[in-house]
């Protein structure tokens, strides 16, 4: 997955990464379940197709956060070279850092959207404004930029009909 990245195959590679991440998690859960309720004299039990389908149905959808967890575990315990070797040059390192920032920003935006849906835009806007003042964020700081974006988003939304 991490060798020779190509933008033309990025979606296919991401799909493969999601698929193998889910497959690995299912295999781990199958193995765990095989060790439960073992008959005397046996070390494990076999799982029927119905058992496997029930386990798969209980597994939450696999997300990009599961991919990040898999990478973290691989880097920490299995293959440290994944991140130790680093990028091939400054441009590659910068592109990787920019990509991580985009994913992090999109994740925060998604979480903000859920928060706005639950507590309402006015409360979130007030919180963002008070937080910006509390940390005395200057106009170019990430906090101020995020608060301004959130404020402009909230002010652009039509009034709720309720």
pLDDT surpasses 80 at 8: no
For residue 12, what are the domain limits? Answer: 1-85
Domain boundary (85, 111, 128) is at 85
Domain boundary (85, 119, 137) is at 85
21: number of Cβ within 10 Å? 20
**Do 1 and 79 share a domain, yes or no?**
yes
What is this structure's pTM? 0.55
Reported as type and span, the H/E element at residue 98 is: helix 90-119
**Do 53 and 102 share a domain, yes or no?**
no
The number of C-alpha atoms within 13 Å of 123 and in the hemisphere containing its C-beta is 8
More confident residue, 110 or 146: 110
**Do 5 and 19 share a domain, yes or no?**
yes
136: confidence class by pLDDT, cuts 50, 70, 90: low
**Do 79 and 132 share a domain, yes or no?**
no
Contact assessment for residue 146 and residue 128, using Cβ atoms and an 8 Å cutoff: yes
Give Cβ neighbours of residue 74 (< 8 Å, ≥ 6 apart). 82
**Do 94 and 157 share a domain, yes or no?**
yes
**Do 118 and 53 share a domain, yes or no?**
no
Domain boundary (61, 85, 109) is at 85
Four-CA torsion 140, 141, 145, 147, nearest 10 degrees: -130
The domain total for the chain is 2
* Phi and psi, residue 142, nearest 5°: -60, -35
Read off the pLDDT of each residue in 102-113 and give the average, rounded to a whole number: 80
Give Cβ neighbours of residue 112 (< 8 Å, ≥ 6 apart). 124, 150
DSSP letter at 135 equals T
Read off the pLDDT of each residue in 51-64 and give the average, rounded to a whole number: 92
């Amino acid at each position: 997955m991490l060798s020779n990245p190509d933008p033309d195959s990025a979606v296919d590679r991401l799909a493969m990464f999601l698929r193998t991440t889910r497959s690995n998690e299912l295999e781990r859960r199958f193995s765990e379940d095989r060790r439960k309720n073992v008959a005397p004299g046996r070390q494990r039990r076999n799982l029927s197709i119905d058992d496997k389908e029930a386990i798969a149905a209980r597994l939450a959808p696999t997300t990009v956060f599961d991919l990040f967890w898999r990478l973290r575990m691989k880097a920490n315990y299995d293959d440290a070279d994944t991140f130790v070797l680093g990028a091939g040059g400054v441009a590659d390192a910068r592109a990787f850092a920019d990509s991580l920032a985009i994913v992090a920003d999109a994740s925060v935006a998604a979480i903000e959207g859920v928060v706005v849906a639950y507590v309402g835009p006015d409360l979130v806007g007030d919180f963002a404004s008070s937080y910006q003042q509390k940390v005395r964020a200057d106009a170019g700081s990430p906090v101020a930029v995020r608060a301004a974006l959130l404020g402009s988003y909230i002010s652009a939304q039509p009034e709720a009909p309720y």
